Amino acid sequence: MLRPADQRFNMEGGAALLLSAFESVVRRDCPPSDLVVTDVDAVVDYVASVADNYEGQVDVPWAEVVRRVRDLASAAMSRDGELRFSTGAGAFVCR
């Protein structure tokens, strides 16, 4: 059974979890960047592909989530020409 998304390993809580197995844990963050999407189908395909991870956390069929994402992404792209997401990534150096 999957744990809720807020309990999964992530950059915010990862160091504390890793410290149970490593003597030293150092977080290294990459510079933030923007992801610009201009293809509605790319967004919809991504959301459809993550059903295994998230569909148990919503009260509607995943197909409805995908349909709603298509509607919202289409409206935003019609208005703004693109969707812009701020992204971040990093790594933990453990010893």
Average pLDDT over the chain reads: 91
Local confidence band at 9 (pLDDT 50, 70, 90 cut-offs):
confident
Number of structural domains, the chain?
A: 1
Distance, CA of 39 to CA of 83 (rounded, Å): 9
Strand, coil or helix: 93: strand
Assess if residue 5 is contained within a domain. no
Q: Is residue 2 part of a domain?
A: no
- Span 14-55, pLDDT tens digits: 999 999 999 999 999 999 999 999 999 999 999 999 999 899
Residue 1 lies inside a defined structural domain of this protein = no
The angle, 0 to 180 degrees and rounded to 10, between the axes of the packed helices 62-80 and 40-49 is: 160
- Number of other CB atoms surrounding residue 32 within 10 Å: 9
- Which of 71, 13, 8 shows the shortest CA–CA distance to 40? 71
pLDDT band (50, 70, 90) for residue 2: very low
Quote the distance between the C-alpha of residue 40 and its chain's center: 17
pLDDT of 30 = 94
Say what the pTM is: 0.68
Boundaries of domain holding 40: 10-94
Let me know: does 25 contact 18? Beta carbons within 8 Å.
yes
**Quick one: what percent of the chain has pLDDT higher than 90?**
79
Q: What are the CA-CA distances from residue 85 to residues 4, 34, 58 (Å)?
A: 23, 5, 22
